[in-house]
């Protein structure tokens, strides 16, 4: 049986591609796929890492975010991406929102309840939770983590801005109970920050290791000391730019206290797979078990080669609706886009139906608002029906807005004012083909309407930094992401408390478009009012309508499409992957912190 290294072996079916790639390499095409040569690896002292784990005992996950810039920096607080897999199998959440059941399932937390005024929350930790080095996970760890975030005056650590927005102080009640005193009532406190609402939630730090460490520079990686540690059922074994490998721990607390069984997979691998061709070939060859996202055409091709490939839905369009709609964000400090009319012009010109047709091959649909179109969000989307975005382009309106600001078409077919051509440079994350394809279509539409638009794919880390520090004219992003069953979280991201000057980091990537002014102030006040209302309060809808009227009038961001993700799973070695029909025990993304739930359900395929 092939071991994990065999994922790099060349099979006869790959011959044609290999020939092509060799041709490309002959043309000077270096580095045309992920580097199959593992980097120098450091092995964990605490595990028997020499023993090879068979392929059928290993689950291999795809990672499409490109090579990890610093694989040995596993500090979960710093804004750069940490290693893939850490949140999925090493660091566990306190609670986990299940999109399918709508419930918040307890994990390391047992309960998290508010007082009547919603401004005091009490967390009870499950008894018996232990760190992988044997230390107890307790209230001290939670308090230490919260105080670290509350003491971050720069607000650059993950969750620092949001904790400082809400938390006045945290107190130890007993070894398993923590009391949170909030600055204002917050009915969503547990859901927003501790329940893997979207992607991840706060990582609790082991105080006994982090105490007296600098949270900004500590890398939390030292294999000789067994770092990083976590509470999850797996331990990191190797971390390279292209691959993270984890081995199952026999002493996982969850099995010992009979909270859950020990997961079946003995080894988990997250592999940087590069371009879609690589991912598709690996899946077709059963050398991947889970793919993050893939285009429809590639999925159909994999299925024609490997009948064991499934997706969330078993029929067209196969996809799952991701909670993060895609949008064009323009820097409000860069003229002429500091003018709301010019931003509205961009929005009017964009033909979202065409974006869906080309970038998604008709597997998604245009956005009406900044919100994800989940059933629970419909009331808040419907309440702003008069503000819904036209899915088709309205070029005459867009042009008249531009011309009303003194721009005139020149001989090149582009608008010009005072000798300067109207241009727009859109930055995209180089690893995300979906956003790049959206940007390519938008560029053509804007150019046809007279805006000399261009798009540029840049390295992920640079893209993140450019956004955070305001070094961009426009970006294709998903940063209104947050709300899944109520509107406040997404709306809160564009409030004035997060406004920073260009050159200063936007806290938590909130309001990095740097929206300011009277409208922004008024909007922020309304959002603050929404924030203290209980979930489902009838007073929320009119406030949402009022705030979104300001938001859309000023066209703070330009919503484009809903993001439907085609997430294939390969069932050759592992079964139990979530599917919409018959097995929707959980939503399907395997890059979220809730992946612990999916790993628990995996069983060896019976073939």
Binding site for another protein (CB under 8 A): 16-17, 20-21, 23-24, 27-32, 275-277, 280-281, 284, 295, 297-298, 300-302, 304-305, 354, 357-358, 361, 425, 430, 433, 437, 440-441, 443-445, 454-457
**What letter would DSSP give residue 261?**
P
Kindly state the smallest distance separating residue 400's Cβ from another protein, in Å: 24
User: ∠ at Cα 408 (405, 413), nearest 5°?
Assistant: 135
The whole-angstrom separation of Cα 277 and Cα 578 is 24
Kindly state the smallest distance separating residue 425's Cβ from another protein, in Å: 7
Q: Which is nearer to another protein, 24 or 257 (CB)?
A: 24
Q: Among residues 185, 225, 204, which one has the least CA distance to residue 146?
A: 204
Kindly state the smallest distance separating residue 306's Cβ from another protein, in Å: 11
Strands 167-174 and 177-182: antiparallel
214 token code pair: 């600098």
Q: Which is nearer to another protein, 358 or 605 (CB)?
A: 358
Q: Among residues 368, 346, 344, which one has the least CA distance to residue 356?
A: 368
The whole-angstrom separation of Cα 136 and Cα 138 is 6
Q: Which is nearer to another protein, 247 or 326 (CB)?
A: 326
Kindly state the smallest distance separating residue 26's Cβ from another protein, in Å: 9
Q: Which is nearer to another protein, 15 or 115 (CB)?
A: 15
List phi, psi (to 5°) of 272: -75, 115
Query: Which pairs from 582-588 meet CB under 8 Å and 24+ separation?
Result: 584/100, 585/98, 585/100, 586/98, 586/99, 586/100, 587/98, 587/99, 587/100, 587/320, 588/312, 588/320
Q: Is the peptide bond before 326 cis (omega within 30 degrees of 0)?
A: no
> Residue 169 in contact with residue 121, Cβ under 8 Å?
no
Kindly state the smallest distance separating residue 430's Cβ from another protein, in Å: 8
In the chain, the N- to C-terminal Cα span, in Å, equals 14
> Residue 80 in contact with residue 464, Cβ under 8 Å?
yes
The whole-angstrom separation of Cα 170 and Cα 122 is 10
Q: Which is nearer to another protein, 132 or 455 (CB)?
A: 455
427 token code pair: 């930055």
Kindly state the smallest distance separating residue 246's Cβ from another protein, in Å: 28
Kindly state the smallest distance separating residue 456's Cβ from another protein, in Å: 6
386 token code pair: 């008069």
Q: Which is nearer to another protein, 16 or 51 (CB)?
A: 16
Q: Which is nearer to another protein, 24 or 535 (CB)?
A: 24
Q: Which is nearer to another protein, 302 or 528 (CB)?
A: 302
Q: Which is nearer to another protein, 90 or 284 (CB)?
A: 284
Kindly state the smallest distance separating residue 176's Cβ from another protein, in Å: 50
Q: Which is nearer to another protein, 18 or 580 (CB)?
A: 18
β partners of residue 574: 604
DSSP 374-398: -GGGHHHHHTTGGGPPPSS--HHHH
Kindly state the smallest distance separating residue 436's Cβ from another protein, in Å: 9
Contacts of 501 (CB under 8 A, 6+ apart): 470, 514
The whole-angstrom separation of Cα 549 and Cα 387 is 7
Q: Which is nearer to another protein, 223 or 366 (CB)?
A: 366
Q: H helices of 75-153, where?
A: 139-150
Q: Which is nearer to another protein, 223 or 317 (CB)?
A: 317
Q: Among residues 39, 42, 96, which one has the least CA distance to residue 68?
A: 39
Kindly state the smallest distance separating residue 305's Cβ from another protein, in Å: 8
Helix or strand or coil: residue 329? strand
Kindly state the smallest distance separating residue 300's Cβ from another protein, in Å: 6
Kindly state the smallest distance separating residue 475's Cβ from another protein, in Å: 14
């Amino acid at each position: 049986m092939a071991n994990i290294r065999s994922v790099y072996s060349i099979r006869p079916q790959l011959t044609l591609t290999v020939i092509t790639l060799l041709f490309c390499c002959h043309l000077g095409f270096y580095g045309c796929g992920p580097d199959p040569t593992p980097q120098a690896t450091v092995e964990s002292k605490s595990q028997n890492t020499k023993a090879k784990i068979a392929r059928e005992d290993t689950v291999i996950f795809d990672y499409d975010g490109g090579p990890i810039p610093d694989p040995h920096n596993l500090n979960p607080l710093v804004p750069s991406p940490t290693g893939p897999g850490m949140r999925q199998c090493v660091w566990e959440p306190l609670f986990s929102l299940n999109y399918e059941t709508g419930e918040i399932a307890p994990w390391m937390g047992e309960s998290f309840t508010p007082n009547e005024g919603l401004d005091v929350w009490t967390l009870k930790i499950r008894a018996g939770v232990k760190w992988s080095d044997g230390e107890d996970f307790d209230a001290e760890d939670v308090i230490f983590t919260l105080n670290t975030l509350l003491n971050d005056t720069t607000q650059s650590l993950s969750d620092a801005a949001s904790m400082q927005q809400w938390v006045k102080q945290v107190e130890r009640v007993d070894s398993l109970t923590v009391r949170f005193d909030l600055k204002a009532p917050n009915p969503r406190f547990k859901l927003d920050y501790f329940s893997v609402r979207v992607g991840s939630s706060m990582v609790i730090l082991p105080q006994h290791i982090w105490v007296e460490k600098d949270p900004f520079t500590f890398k939390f990686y030292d294999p000789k000391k067994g770092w990083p540690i976590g509470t999850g059922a797996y331990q990191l074994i190797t971390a390279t730019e292209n691959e993270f490998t984890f081995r199952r721990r026999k002493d996982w607390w969850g099995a010992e206290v009979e909270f859950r069984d020990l997961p079946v997979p003995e080894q988990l691998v997250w592999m940087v797979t590069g371009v879609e061709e690589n991912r598709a070939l690996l899946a077709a060859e059963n050398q991947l078990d889970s793919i993050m996202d893939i285009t429809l055409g590639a999925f159909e091709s994999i299925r024609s080669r490997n009948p064991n490939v499934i997706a969330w839905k078993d029929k067209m369009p196969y996809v799952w609706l991701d909670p993060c709609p895609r949008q064009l964000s323009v820097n409000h400090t860069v003229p002429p886009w500091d003018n709301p009319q010019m931003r509205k012009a961009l929005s009017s010109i964009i033909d979202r139906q065409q974006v869906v047709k080309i970038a998604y091959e008709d597997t998604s649909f245009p956005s009406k608002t900044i919100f994800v179109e989940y059933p629970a969000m419909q009331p808040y989307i419907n309440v702003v029906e008069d503000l819904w975005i036209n899915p088709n382009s309205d070029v005459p309106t867009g042009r008249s807005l531009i011309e009303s600001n003194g721009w005139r078409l020149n001989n090149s077919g582009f608008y010009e004012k005072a000798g300067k051509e109207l241009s727009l440079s859109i930055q995209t994350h180089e690893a995300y083909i979906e956003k790049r394809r959206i940007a390519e279509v938008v560029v053509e539409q804007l150019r046809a309407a007279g805006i000399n638009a261009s798009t540029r794919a840049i390295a992920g880390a640079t893209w993140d930094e450019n956004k955070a520090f305001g070094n961009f004219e426009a970006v294709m992003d998903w940063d209104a992401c947050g709300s899944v069953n109520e509107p406040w979280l997404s709306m809160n991201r564009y409030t004035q408390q997060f406004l920073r000057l260009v050159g200063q980091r936007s806290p938590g990537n909130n309001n990095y478009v740097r929206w300011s002014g009277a409208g922004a102030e008024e909007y922020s006040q309304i959002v603050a009012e929404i924030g203290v209302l209980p979930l489902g309060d009838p007073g929320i809808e009119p406030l949402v309508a009022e705030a979104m009227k300001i938001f859309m009038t000023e066209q703070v961001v330009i919503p484009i499409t809903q993001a439907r993700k085609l997430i294939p799973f390969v069932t050759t070695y592992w079964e139990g992957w979530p599917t919409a029909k018959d097995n929707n025990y959980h939503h399907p993304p395997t890059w979220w912190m809730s992946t612990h739930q999916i790993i628990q359900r995996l069983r060896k395929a019976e073939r």
